Structures are given as C-alpha cells and as structure tokens.
Amino acid sequence: MKKTVYREYYEAILVAFILALFVRTFVFENFKIPSGSMEDNLLIGDHLVVNKFLYSTNWETFLHRLLPYRGPQRGDVVVFKYPENPRRDFIKRCIAVAGDRVEIRGKQLWLNGEMVDEPYVVFKDDQIWGGGPGVPARFRSRDNFGPYVVPEDSIFCLGDNRDNSLDSRFWGPVPLSYVKGRAVLIYWSYEAKRNDWKWQGIGHRARQLGEVFLHFFTRTRWERQFRLIH
C-alpha cells in the first residue's frame, strides 16, 4: 500500500530526531561559556562544540581497538558535571590525571616535582595570598596549594583565568564518570553578559533573543568563528 504524504513526513522527521538525539548523546554537544574562568582563551558568550565520543567508556571492547577512544589528558579543555551540583556543567583545563602530584607555589604550578610552563594562563591579580588562618577562605588555596596526589579514576582541573576560577583547588578532583567531553571548536562567539545563562523567566529570555536578533552582526566576534580550542 502506498504511503501517504503525511506518513512520509512523519517518518522523515522521526528519523531525523532520533539521529540528532543520538549525535547529541554520544558524539557531539554544544556548550556556551557562562563565566570568565577560562579567559583569555575562552570568553563569555563563546559557543563550543564538545566531542563526547573521544572519552567513551568502551575501553576494553572491539570498538576501542578500532576507534580513537582515550581518557582525558593533561592540557585538554574538558566539560564535566560540577561535582558539588551535577545538574550544572563546568568547563576547565585538565592539568593532572590519576597519580599525579599537584602543587602550586606562589601561583606557579608544579607537577610531579617539575615546574610547568602554562602559556594559556593569565593572572589578573598581583597579590599572592598565603594559606594561614587569617586569610579569607576564598583565597587560601588560590595561590598556594598542595602537594596533592590525584586519586584513581579522577582528574584535577583548573581555570585558565587562574585568579578568578572556582576549580579543583577548592572542591577537589573531578571523577572520570562526570567528564562529558573535550571542547574542540568555537562555532559562534557573541558578546554576552556574565549572568545571561541564568534562567530568569520567559520574558527575560525573550528579551535576550530579541537583543541577539537586533545585534547579531555588531556583537558577534567574527574573528573567533571556527577557532580550534587548545
């Protein structure tokens, strides 16, 4: 029996939806930078492509021997579920893996007893805080930390904007089970405000969309389009 036009459209849409859902769940996902913790490498309003396929958990299967699965490595910019609130996604740089000995001395990172050159890091505060009891809690681990050994099945992550980043110095390592993927590409960059990601109702979101429509050409950072993330 010949299919009706409506059924053909329905089946085509259903297949497209299932394919898009599969790709989003297992292969690629988009992510928007909501804060300045990764400046100047990643800016508020950068929209990223996240490779979820790379960190697949199929480590000991036949597919693993054929396809390029691997775990997070030092230097990867990773998206993960925030350990203190798994409903939120964070993005930071993996600077150490299981078994690594991490230490920060006067803002300088040391890994396994060796000083690390970090060309991607910026410091926006000349003050170096100690770790004494008189130091405000938010600064105690910022400039001097460790030594700390990263536990099994975990990674240690820091923001590139080292003086203004809530990261593993304050809430500990990231379980590998919380890692969602590696950020690989900026596909669109738009000058956004720091708190634009927060849900403040339908009216607020509608005004945001209206602003994007009106200022798309003037506020898009065209020089950042399709930039690879390192």
Residues with active-site annotation:
37, 92
- CB-based contacts of 181: which residues, under 8 Å, 6+ apart? 29, 50, 51, 52, 53, 54, 55, 78, 79
Residue 36 corresponds to which amino acid?
G
Could you write out the DSSP letters of every residue in 69-92? Answer: -----TT-EEEEEETTEEEEEEEE
In order of 24, 49, 223, the CA distances from 220 in angstroms are 25, 17, 9
Strand order in the sheet with 108-111: 114-115, 108-111, 101-105, 145-149
Residue 101 corresponds to which amino acid?
R
- CB-based contacts of 58: which residues, under 8 Å, 6+ apart? 64, 69
The upper half-sphere exposure of residue 86, i.e. CA atoms within 13 Å in the direction of its Cβ, equals 7
Residue 102 and residue 111 in contact, taking contact as beta carbons nearer than 8 Å? yes
Please give the DSSP secondary-structure letter assigned to residue 178: G
